[in-house]
Amino acid sequence: MFRHNKKLTALLKSIKISAQQSNNSADILDAVKMAKAFEGDIKFQHNPFYLCSGAAIATAVLIWYQPQIISQWELDHNLFLSILAVLAIVPLIFVYTQRKKITSLSDFIFAKDCRFDNHMESISVSDSVISQLPTRFIEFKRGNYSRKFISATHVAAQHSALANEYYLYKFHYVDRRTVTTTSTDANGKVTTSTKTVYDHYDRYGITLDFGFIKQFQISNKRMLRKPRDYNSASIAFSKKFAIGASTELAAAKYLKPKIVLLVMDLAKHFSDLNIEFDTQGHLCLAFRDSDVFSRKRVHGLAQPNAFYEELQGQTALDKLDILTTFINQLAKYSDNNFEETT
Amino acid sequence: MIISLIIGAVLVAVTVIIYNSIISRYNKVKRAWSDVIVQERQKEKIIPELERIVKQYDAYESELQQGITSLRTMMGEISEGEINTKKLQEVEASTSQILKGINVSMESYPELKASSLYNNLMTELTEQQENVGAAIRIFNNNVEVHNTGIESFPNNLVNSLLNKKDVLELFSDTASSDSFEFKPNL
């Protein structure tokens, strides 16, 4: 059993190194082939740990109800129970950690394959395009305590479903607030206490050079840079979104009926949308959904053959497709059809 | 006494809120209708350009000219002030016919079909037509919200006593719906 666990640990280590060094989908598949070739199940054998934990829990329960059992040994009752608690919990933590190794590695492999399939290249968050976003878009004026980019991805023009290259990012911000609680004790004495609470939020987005629309924003009322009274004639749209633009005229020009319907359709798939165009015509489209740039895997390394087959196929990112289709449609209805001829 | 006054004040407040919301939704319907007309007018502005380029290529046929003239006349009959979905249906049906007619006529003129200006005009016309379709969808959506707003309780009481707004007619494409055998029991 311990030999199996040792061999499995070594295998996972090799797969991890191969996956980390992989440069394409074929390399990823080669890494998973190692799991396919492994003799035995890709599963740690933990029976002795369960046995140890179970025995400790059973002993603790017994001593709890029959303390006289250990009184003859002159042992500290509480100390003995504490030792049993450690003996019950530590093996379970160890089991969890080992199991987690397999699921984490499966997640890593699947995410990396998904990036290869969709031609996504990880870039540093200090890349100039990403680091300059907060100076160009109000989207990043969130969080009264802290804000930072967690990750960034680049998709080159030749692989892009859009006319241009684009960037994807994950942004994290923290709001700090003070909560005051008042409690009354049995004697009627009122005690007031305050504590600081930190609320953590993640936002995701896509940014690219759009060009056809400038200084325009479709968002909720709180997040507008230049709020305008103008809104669509649509009752449903104006309930959900407010408009920001350089002038009322610009707002009316950009907010064509077809664009209103496109945004309403997009809002069915994405929550808390903020569609923002800066003065240069760069687009930043942000939302709260975390499932746009990745997908949940069906199988993992524990089922190597099924996982291999899953990785062999093209991992489609349905919500990213919805997003790119929307941006293409937006370009279609915002561009000037006579630009080349006039 | 005080309770009666409070109940009376609440009733007045609720009535004012409902009255104003009916007005607000009705105005949104009127604005959505205006948007439909604005989009129709936008489309109308492209037609002279299309005529001009078609004439250059000697592809201008009298049938097509008649169609364009009647389309202009019909567009002149729909107004922003009066919601007239039937007239709009006629304009939309006529537009489809004229666009089909232009496309058929152009088959005989490959050099015209290859013209980038002609293609740009047709792309613009198609996009304008799609914007008209979108404006109609927005109008229909607002009509639905307005109708629900005056038919549901207690709004129907406020409307029958104070606002006196009628249930509005949705725009429906009869040419398309006639092709379906299924007719919903509405």
Task: Report the alpha-carbon distance of residue B141 to residue B32 in Å, rounded.
Answer: 9
CA A79 to chain centre: 43
Angle between helices B85-106 and B62-77 (to 10 degrees): 160
B131 vs A333: CB contact, 8 Å cut-off? yes
A233 vs B141: CB contact, 8 Å cut-off? no
Whole-number pLDDT of residue B40 = 84
- Which residue stretches of chain A are H helix? 2-21, 25-37, 47-65, 68-71, 77-117, 128-131, 133-136, 235-240, 248-254, 257-267, 304-312, 318-334
pLDDT above 60 (res A328): yes
pLDDT above 60 (res A44): yes
Whole-number pLDDT of residue A342 = 38
Between residues A172 and A316, the one the model is more confident about: A172
Task: Report the alpha-carbon distance of residue B138 to residue B133 in Å, rounded.
Answer: 9
Whole-number pLDDT of residue A277 = 95
pLDDT above 70 (res A65): yes
Q: Are A281 and A211 in contact (CB under 8 A)?
A: yes
pLDDT digits (tens, 9 = 90+) for B62-115: 666 666 677 677 777 777 777 788 888 887 887 777 777 777 766 777 777 777
For the record, the structure tokens of A219 come out as 């968002």
Whole-number pLDDT of residue B180 = 65
Chain A contact probe: residue of B131, B136, B145, B146 with most A CBs at under 10 A: B131
B138 vs A337: CB contact, 8 Å cut-off? no
Q: For residues A287-298, give the mean pLDDT.
A: 90
pLDDT above 80 (res A53): yes
Whole-number pLDDT of residue A218 = 95
A257 vs B131: CB contact, 8 Å cut-off? yes
In angstroms, the separation between the Cα of residue A162 and the nearest Cα of chain B is: 20
Q: How many CB atoms lie within 10 A of CB A144?
A: 11
Task: Report the alpha-carbon distance of residue A163 to residue A255 in Å, rounded.
Answer: 22
Rg of chain A over CA atoms, in angstroms? Answer: 28
Task: Report the alpha-carbon distance of residue A304 to residue A37 in Å, rounded.
Answer: 9
Residue type, A235: I
Whole-number pLDDT of residue A106 = 95
pLDDT digits (tens, 9 = 90+) for B107-155: 777 777 777 887 888 888 888 888 888 899 899 989 999 999 999 999 9
Domain boundaries, chain A: 2-117, 121-173+205-334
pLDDT above 50 (res A341): no
Is the CB of A253 inside 8 Å of chain B's CB atoms? Answer: no
Chain A's closest residue to B116, CA to CA, is A341
Residue from the list A235, A258, A261 with its beta carbon closest to the beta carbon of B145:
A235
Average pLDDT, chain A: 89
Q: Give this prediction's pTM.
A: 0.80
pLDDT above 70 (res A80): yes
pLDDT digits (tens, 9 = 90+) for A175-205: 999 999 888 888 888 888 899 999 999 999 9
Nearest 5°: CA angle at B106, between B102 and B109?
160
pLDDT above 80 (res A168): yes
Residue from the list B121, B127, B139 with its beta carbon closest to the beta carbon of A333:
B127
Whole-number pLDDT of residue A113 = 93
> Strand A166-184's sheet: what is its strand order?
A120-123, A146-155, A166-184, A190-209, A282-287, A274-277, A216-219, A242-245, A227-228
Whole-number pLDDT of residue B186 = 59
Whole-number pLDDT of residue A176 = 96
Whole-number pLDDT of residue B48 = 76
Q: Are A56 and A48 in contact (CB under 8 A)?
A: no
Sign of torsion over alpha carbons B85, B91, B93, B99: negative
Residues near B8 by beta carbon (within 8 Å), at least 6 away in sequence: none
Q: For residues A327-341, give the mean pLDDT.
A: 80
CA A98 to chain centre: 23
Is the CB of A148 inside 8 Å of chain B's CB atoms? Answer: no
Q: For residues B49-53, give the mean pLDDT.
A: 75
Chain B: residues touching A (Cβ < 8 Å): 25, 28, 31-32, 34-35, 39, 116-117, 120-121, 123-124, 127, 130-135, 137-139, 141-142, 145
Whole-number pLDDT of residue A225 = 83
Whole-number pLDDT of residue A313 = 86
Closest CA to B116 of A27, A338, A324, A166: A338
Average pLDDT, chain B: 81
Which of A129-138, A248-257, B10-19 shows the lowest mean pLDDT across its residues?
A248-257
Give the up-direction half-sphere exposure of residue B54: CA atoms within 13 A in the CB hemisphere.
23
Whole-number pLDDT of residue B149 = 92
Which of A15-19, A248-252, A262-266, B113-117 shows the lowest mean pLDDT across its residues?
B113-117
